[in-house]
Amino acid sequence: MKIDLHMHSNISNDGEFSPKELVEMCSSAEINVMALADHNSVRGVKEAAEHGKEKNIKVIPAVELDCTHGEYNLHILGYNIDVENKIFEKIEKDILEQELNAAEKRMDFAEKAGFIFDREKVKALSPDGTVTGEMIGEVVLADKRNDENVLLKPYRNGGCRSDNPYVNFYWDWFSKGKPAYVDIKYMPLKEAVSIIKNSGGKAVFAHPCNNIGMNEKVFAEIINEGVEGVEAYSSYHSPEAVEFFKNLAEKYNIFVTCGSDFHGKTKPAIKLGKILCDNREEEIFNSLTK
């Protein structure tokens, strides 16, 4: 069994490929169990599942919900959910409305930070009118007027943030607490967990080191809200972080999962099916499907 339980299609505003294309790519990578977990949306799951059958790939229905816990913005994965539950349509609509309202504000902040770019080129990258930090980063880095901007040196070839330049630009400038952050009202963690469980699914803490670092106190608080698993095996985790979260999973009696968080061009260093999980594929699969 070869698995990748965290990837995004172009239904996520930062994804590149369609659900069908992702299935084709998983087939080429010899992945036989995948989960499409778009941001706050389940619209691509049926398409992925249909083409998965053609390619003999098991597609686990999934979603990645944005939520908050105290000062932290978190991503909670829901696996084996009922994608017919209308709550997911409501969530997607609410987030989309907020994102549309945030689009111009994000570009305003980016200009105030000293970046030069054509707003229409940014908007051209967006199929639904939303504007992400990744889109702004892509246009800013391609604009010759920014060639001498020292703030962009880390994202250019050879720079310390050049492995995934667009998403790193987002994390450094547009994430919570950064200069170009625009507040989006996400649901509380407890509500996200409840929605997943009421949809027949299991709640898993995605790439925890990205959100809370190796903070056991906060981790314990999150697990106490009903989270049942942790994505210990992640593209963002160092070997030390993998061991840290594996040990916490055992300590708090929760299961572990494995996912790349593949997006395409916004995270070019991340490849499908490249996250190893200590030969625990069947154990992980059974944890999600039993």
Residue-wise pLDDT for 203-231, tens only, equals 999 999 999 999 999 999 999 999 999 99
Contacts of 36 (CB under 8 A, 6+ apart): 7, 8, 9, 19, 22, 44, 45, 48, 59, 61, 62
Give the relative orientation of helices 87-112 and 133-142 as an angle to the nearest 10 degrees: 40
Distance CA 166, CA 170 (A): 6
Residue-wise pLDDT for 23-68, tens only, equals 999 999 999 999 999 999 999 999 999 999 999 999 999 999 999 9
* CB-based contact 35:64 (threshold 8 Å): no
Which pTM was predicted? 0.94
> What value, to the nearest 5°, has the Cα angle with vertex 229 and ends 225 and 235?
120
Domains of the chain by range and CATH?
3-93+188-289 (3.20.20.140), 105-173 (no CATH)
